[in-house]
Amino acid sequence: MSSMTASATPDRRGSPFAGVFLRELHGYLITPVAWLFSVIFLLSAGAFTFYLGAFFERGQADLDPFFRFHPWLYLVLVPALAMRLWAEERRSGTLELLMTLPIRAWQAVLAKFLAAWLYIGGALALTFPMWLTVNYLGQPDNGVILAGYLGSFLMAGAFLAISECLSVLTRSQVIAFILALAVCFLFLLAGDPLVQQPLLALGSERVADALSGLSLLAHFQAIARGVLDLGDIAYFVLTIVFWLAANTLVLAARRGG
Amino acid sequence: MIETEHLGKRYSRIDAVADLSLKVAPGQVLALLGPNGAGKTTTMRMIAGFLMPGSGRARVCGHDVVAEPLAARRALGYLPEGAPSYGELSVAEFLAFAARVRGLTGVSGRRGLDETIERLQLQPVLAQGIETLSKGYRRRVCLAQALLHDPPALILDEPTDGLDPNQQREVHALIRNMARDRAIIVSTHALGEVRAACNRVAILAQGRLRVEGTPAELERQSRFHHAVSFRAPASALACEMLGRLPEVDAVEVDPVDGRVTVFPRDGQEIFHAVVKLLDEQRVRVDELQLERGRLEDVFRRVTGDADVARAA
C-alpha cells in the first residue's frame, strides 16, 4: 500500500532487507565473537570426532562420529552467536534506529536470521577436510554424508531461530544466552526420558507424547541416517518459521508497550 | 507537515502523553520543551513509529503512522534520544547501511550521501570506527543518518546534547538552513537554543501541552516582559522610589550580582518612567536594559504549576 507513495526516494534499487542482511553479515566478519564461534566449532568438531567418536578405531567409512556431536556443539555455540542479535540492539538503543527506518519487522527478523545462518553454514562447510579424509580412507556413502550435512544445517537453523527469538526478550546478552540454552536443550531432548519422565509423573501423557514428536534430536538423527523423510525436513522448516514469526510478534508488541 | 491529533500514551496508570495536538508546517521549527519525564521523547517516538500511539493519531506528510507506517517513515528523518549507532562499524559503513535501507543507491543516492557527509563535516572520520569517536562526532554521525534521504519532515531528540558551543552553533545553523521547506521538531533542555534555531515553542509538562506559540509570544507572557534592569551601586533610595511608581509592580535586587530589575504592572511600558526617575535622582547607572521577557521564567511558571498540581 505504501510503495505507491514512496516518491520521497527517487532511486529504489537498494532494499531494507539487503541493507540489514549485509550489515549483519559484515558484522560477523569483523567481530571476534563470530570468529571465536568458527574456530571453536571447527576445533571441537574435529576433536570430538577423533577422540570421543573413535573415528579411526571404528574402522568404518562414514561420518557418523562427526555428526553425532553436532547437536551438542550447536547447543552451546548457536545461542552464544545469537544472543546479541536483538539484546545488543536494545541495550545500545540502535533498535529505535532500526525500527524507525522504513523496514518491516519481519524483514529485519528474517535478514538477521539468514545472515547468521549463512555464517554458520560457512563454518559447517569448512569441515570439508573431514569429508575428504573419509573418502581417502574408504568408500563412504556420500549420499548419507550429504544428508548429514543437510540435517546439521537445518538443526543449526532451528537453534538459531529459537535463540534469536529469545534474544528480543531482554537487553542482557547473558540472560538471552541462558534462556536460549535452556529452551534449545528442552527441544533437543524433548523425546528423552529426562524431559518425558517428569511430564509422565505429572500424569500429562498427552503433553509428553506431543512433546516427544518435537524432539530435535530424533528428527536430526533420522535425517543423518540418510533417510530424507519429508516430515523431518518439514519439522525443521516449521520450527524455524514458528520461532521467526514469534520473534516478529514480540518485536511488534514491544511497540505497543 | 507533522501533525498530531489528541495523541496519547498511557503506561499502567500514568499518562506519559495525553491529548496532544500539534501541527508543524513546512518552514516551521518547533522546539519541544519540558522537564525530564514530560513526555517529549514518548511523543517523538510515537511520531517516528517506534511506539504505537495509545490514542489519537499522528501523521507525517499526510501519512498516518499506524495505517501507512513505511510511507510515514520514508518521509521522516529521525534522530533518536542518545543518538545511537552501530559502534563496531566505521562512519562510512554505517551511513552506507542507512542509505541502503532507505533505498538510496546509484548516482543520486551517492550524491545524497556525499552532500550529507559534506554538510556535517564528517570527511576526516569516515574510515574511523564509530566507537572510537568523540561524543560530538557520534551525534553528528547519527544526525547524518537522519538527513541522508533529504526528508521533508525531521524530528531531532536533543540534537546538540554533548556538543561544544561551536558545534552547537553549527547545528543551529544547519537546522535554520533546512527549515526553509521542511517541518522540524527539536526537543531540547537548552532554552537558548529556541532563539537560535526555532520559530515556535511548545512546552509540555506531565504529558500535556501547557503553552504553545512563537518565542516572542511566550516571552510576552513572562513577568520580565517590559521589565527594566540595570546595575547601580548605592541606589537603595532610588529603588524604594521606583517601587512606589504606580506602573511598577515590584523591584528586585539580585543577591549575587546586585543587578536591579524593575517589573511593570500588567506589562505596561515603564522604561521611560524608570529612566526619568533615575535621572532625577542622579543615580549613576550601568548596563541599563529593557527586558524582552524570559523563556526560563515562562518555563518555570508553566512547569512549576504542574509540580504544585501533582503535590495536591
* Tens digit of pLDDT at every position of chain B (312 positions): 999 999 999 988 889 999 999 999 999 999 999 999 899 999 999 999 999 999 999 999 999 999 999 999 999 999 999 999 999 999 999 999 999 999 888 888 888 899 999 988 899 999 999 999 998 899 999 999 999 999 999 999 999 988 889 989 989 999 999 998 999 999 998 888 898 899 999 999 999 999 999 998 888 888 888 899 888 877 788 888 888 888 888 898 888 888 889 999 887 888 988 888 888 888 888 888 898 888 888 888 888 854 544 443
The cell numbers describing A31, all together, are 567481530
Helix (H, G, I), strand (E, B) or coil at B200: strand
Give the pLDDT band (50/70/90) at residue A4.
Answer: very low
Of A1-5, A92-96, B204-208, give the lowest mean pLDDT range: A1-5
Q: What is the pLDDT of residue B305?
A: 57
Distance CA B238, CA B235 (A): 5
E strand segments, chain B: 2-11, 14-24, 29-33, 55-60, 63-64, 76-79, 153-157, 183-187, 200-205, 208-213, 228-231, 248-253, 260-264, 286-290
Of A11-20, A151-160, A164-173, B61-70, give the lowest mean pLDDT range: A11-20
Contact B109, A23 (CB under 8 A): no
Question: Which is more confidently placed, B167 or A244?
Answer: A244
Closest of B292, B248, B291 to residue B270, by C-alpha: B248
Best residue of A9, A35, A90, A91 to probe chain B, by most B CBs closer than 10 Å: A9
Q: What is the pLDDT of residue A14?
A: 60
Q: Which of residues 247-276 of B touch A (CB under 8 A)?
A: none
Distance CA B81, CA B149 (A): 20
Of A8, A14, A97, the CB nearest to B105: A14
Q: What is the pLDDT of residue B92?
A: 94
E strand segments, chain A: none
The cell numbers describing B193, all together, are 537554543
User: What angle is formed at CA B128 by the lines to CA B105 and CA A21, rounded to 5 degrees?
Assistant: 40
Closest of B309, B256, B264 to residue B290, by C-alpha: B264
Q: What is the mean pLDDT of residues A49-76?
A: 85
Instruction: Say which DSSP state B307 is in.
Output: H
A contacts of B108 (beta carbons < 8 Å): 10-11
Q: Is the pLDDT of residue A206 over 90?
A: no
Contact B46, B196 (CB under 8 A): no
Nearest chain B residue to A91 by CA: give it. B84
Residues 6+ apart with CB under 8 A from A206: none
Q: Is the pTM of this model over 0.90?
A: no
Instruction: Say which DSSP state A50 is in.
Output: I
CA distance B118 to chain A (A): 20
Residues 6+ apart with CB under 8 A from B223: B249, B263, B297
Q: Count how many domains chain A has.
A: 1
B150: region left, alpha or beta (phi > 0 left; psi from -120 to 50 alpha): left
Q: What is the pLDDT of residue A5?
A: 39
Do B145 and A1 lie within an 8 Å CB cutoff?
no
Q: What is the mean pLDDT of residues A15-34?
A: 90
Do B101 and A103 lie within an 8 Å CB cutoff?
yes
Of A15, A93, A99, the CB nearest to B82: A93
Q: Is the pLDDT of residue A39 over 80?
A: yes
Do B97 and A19 lie within an 8 Å CB cutoff?
yes
Contact A55, A48 (CB under 8 A): no
Residues 6+ apart with CB under 8 A from B10: B16, B54, B55
Closest of B157, B206, B217, B214 to residue B19, by C-alpha: B206
Q: Over the range B40-67, which residues count as b (16 or more CB within 10 Å of their CB) and which as e?
A: bbbbbbbbbbbbbbbebbbbbbebebee
* Bridging pattern class, strands B248-253 and B63-64: unpaired
Q: What is the pLDDT of residue A52?
A: 80
Compute CA distances A65 → A50, A51, A145, B110, whole Å: 8, 9, 11, 52
Contact B142, A54 (CB under 8 A): no
Question: Which is more confidently placed, A240 or A11?
Answer: A240
B contacts of A2 (beta carbons < 8 Å): 63, 68-71, 74
Do B80 and A93 lie within an 8 Å CB cutoff?
yes
B284: region left, alpha or beta (phi > 0 left; psi from -120 to 50 alpha): beta
Closest of B297, B275, B84 to residue B191, by C-alpha: B297
Residues facing B76 on adjacent strands: B153
The cell numbers describing A94, all together, are 540502535
Of A1, A14, A97, the CB nearest to B100: A14
The rounded mean pLDDT for chain A is 88
Q: What is the mean pLDDT of residues A37-64?
A: 84
Of B68, B71, B101, the CB nearest to A19: B101
Do B104 and A11 lie within an 8 Å CB cutoff?
yes
Contact B76, B48 (CB under 8 A): yes
Give the pLDDT band (50/70/90) at residue A239.
Answer: very high
- Structural domain boundaries enclosing A177: 4-256
Q: Is the pLDDT of residue A11 over 80?
A: no
